[in-house]
Amino acid sequence: MRAAPLAATALAAALLLTGCSSGSDSSGGDSAAASPSNGTTCRIAHMDVEVGPANVAPAAGDTGNIPVTLTNQSAECTLDGFPGIDLNATDSSVNVSPEEGTKSTKLTLAKGTAATFTLTYTRGEAGGKASLDVKTLNIALPGAGTAKSYKWSYGPVAGRSDNPDAPNASVSAFTQAGD
């Protein structure tokens, strides 16, 4: 007689555990796909983050590139997925998607080693209806759920021609930095 209540309890617990995650993290990615299968997920709080120096887009319609270098300051960890990038204006925020056709690679970072990625954007027209007047850049690591905010000083970001509410910007995959 006790087997049925125990089985029901085990099933309920399993459903509860799988229901704890909505399947997406704060970076806009799929947390199940972004979580490493072994090792510890890298946390932004344990990284020394360098944003730039940038190849700034000088005028509306020009393309700029902002390299970001993450140096692990803690125990060995894994990056598995794409960086989560949000561009924040005064009254709105947009998520930046990975470069079209780009595949992520799983990287393991020992303490003191680094990875890089690049944010590419098209500069928008100042005050333009289809431009986002970005104030801050939020960076999150895949599967980690928390982000750090950095000042944006690269001008407004243009909206895409097929969807002016989406930024004309993309983020590359992580690559190992250094030797």
1-47, pLDDT tens digit by residue?
A: 334 333 333 333 332 332 333 333 333 333 333 333 456 999 999 99
Looking at residue 179, its pLDDT comes to 61
Domain of 79 in residue numbering reads as 23-176
Does the residue 162 lie in any domain?
A: yes
Name beta bridge partners: 50.
69
Looking at residue 121, its pLDDT comes to 97
Q: Is 28 exposed, middle or buried (0-12, 13-18, 19+ CB in 10 A)?
A: middle
Q: Is 80 exposed, middle or buried (0-12, 13-18, 19+ CB in 10 A)?
A: buried
Does the residue 103 lie in any domain?
A: yes
Does the residue 3 lie in any domain?
A: no
Query: What is the domain-level CATH number for residue 155?
Result: 2.60.40
Does the residue 17 lie in any domain?
A: no
Does the residue 7 lie in any domain?
A: no
Tens of pLDDT along 89-143?
988 899 999 999 999 989 999 999 999 999 999 999 998 888 999 999 999 999 9
The closest of 168, 158, 93 to 124, measured between CA atoms, is: 158
Does the residue 136 lie in any domain?
A: yes
Least confident residue range of 20-34, 58-72, 139-153, 157-171: 20-34
Q: How many domains does the chain have?
A: 1
Does the residue 5 lie in any domain?
A: no
Give pTM, 2 decimals. 0.75
Does the residue 120 lie in any domain?
A: yes
